[in-house]
Each structure stands twice: as C-alpha cells, then as structure tokens.
Amino acid sequence: MIKEWLDSRYQKPADGEYRAHSPIFGPKGNSERGIVARYIRAENVLKACRDLGIGKGQSLIDVGASDGHFVSLAREHLGCQVTATDISAEACKRVEEMFGIRAVPCDATALPFSDQEFDVVVCMETLEHIEQIHTAIGELLRIGKRVVITVPNESVRKTTRTHIGIHPHKHIWNFKAQSFDFLKTMGYQVRVVRHTSTVGLVGYMVLEKFGLLNETTVKMCLAIDRMIQSIPPSWGWMFIVTKPGSSAK
C-alpha cells in the first residue's frame, strides 16, 4: 500500500508543476512544508559523512532518497560518487530527471547491492515506516562499511494513530537514544547525536508560514540550530554506526 501511495505522491503532474517533498527547488520553491528541518537534517548528515572520511573517490548511497535532495548535496559538497534508492519508482524518476543521479527503485529489506559495496550508507527518516525494520537495518549494514541513520523523536501517541488507521501512511515505530544499542552486542560502535532543536523548530516554522524563508534566513536557522540542537528535547536522532577498524578510505 505505501509503495502505491508514494508513487502517487512523487508522480509528476501532466498539467502542473511538481511539488517537491524536499527543498530541491530552494527556500522559496514549490515544496512541502517543513523544509528548514530538512535543511538542518541534511547538514547534520553531511557533517557526519565528512567526519567519517567520505569525500572524493568514496561512494555513498541514500536508501529512501525521496526526490534526491540529500544525494545532490552529497555530490556537490562531498565530491563522492552517489547512488539513490527508494521504494517508489516515481521518486527515482524524479532523482534521475532533476539531478542525473543513478536511482534504483527497490525495497529497503532486499537491497540489490553487494556486501560492503558502499563506503557509507545514509538512511534518513525511512526506518520508521518499515514493518520489517530489523531486516532493513541488516541490509543497511550489509551493503555499507559505515551507516548513518536519522529517525524522528516522537511520542507513542503519534505512531498509535498509524496503527489504528487514522494516519495509515505515517510512522509505525518510536525511537529513543538507546534504540540501536542492540548493535553493540554484534560488534558495532554506535554514536548518538541529537539533531534539530524542537524549541528552534517553532521559530523556523513561523518564518516558513509567513513566507520569510530565503537563503539568508535559512543560513541563520542552520547557525542557530547548531548552537541549540543538543538541548533536549530534540526533533530527531542520528545514529552513526561503524565497526572497529572499518575505513571509508
């Protein structure tokens, strides 16, 4: 069901402008609400990838890439080779059309790639939608030397609304700082980072609501969030998963 819903969401209208899920058209482009949070999340993941040594000559794959905002930024700012995947074939079409980036439609629980094929695997705001979440996590770890995951930090009440059918395409899993600790028993190192200040997000949304977003105000929001994002509660979690001795170089 979710695949069909996503294909409908990402389909390019025959007689109208495509409304992007992410801010691929810039701060004032035709995108869904919440673009400042998406900018902040992308900046945090870019920093994590830099800290892991990802750069020119390295390979990165984004699993659940949507319409390609992050992979386009990774190619531009990291200089690495990028690949996108999404369960929606329509989303993959948008990535290839707009950025010329290879995009493979596939399920995160059965990724068609070789073991350790990529220097880093990025999976942003995707696992909370997947019923077979542990299978998907296993696939991320299988195809990548290192993995960067972001998930929302939200209440059980919100996911309950999904389970009882009020929001059938929303999130089905909740996460906390310890959610990926089970990987430590398998020999992985897990670093947890808070991202996107809940307090700051209120201000960012006000700017967006009143049409005040532009390149300058987005940079201001990014700078503010860097200073306050470690103050709880955070809007989301980032988990950086590595194995001792693993290297992206």
The pLDDT profile of the chain, 249 residues, written as one tens digit per residue, is 789 999 999 999 988 889 999 999 999 999 999 999 999 999 999 999 999 999 999 999 999 999 999 999 999 999 999 999 999 999 999 999 999 999 999 999 999 999 999 999 999 999 999 999 999 999 999 999 999 999 999 764 454 444 334 445 578 899 999 999 999 999 999 999 998 888 888 899 999 999 999 999 999 999 999 999 888 888 899 999 998 776 544
Q: What is the pTM for the complete model shown?
A: 0.92
- How many angstroms separate the CA atoms of 28 and 179, rounded? 36
- Structural domain includes residue 26: no
Q: Which residue from 131, 243, 241, 236 is spatially nearest to 177, judged by alpha carbons? A: 236
In a domain, 208, yes or no: yes
Q: Is 23 part of any domain?
A: no
What is the domain count for the chain? Answer: 1
Q: Does a structural domain hold residue 25?
A: no
CA proximity to 28, closest of 216, 195, 203, 225: 216
Query: Could you tell me if residue 189 is inside a domain?
Result: yes
Residues belonging to the chain: 249
CATH number of 84's domain: 3.40.50.150
Domain range for 40 is 2-12+32-242
Strands 120-124 and 59-63 turn out to be parallel
Residue 69 lies in a domain: yes
Type of residue found at 102: R
Classify residue 152: in a domain, yes or no.
yes
In a domain, 20, yes or no: no
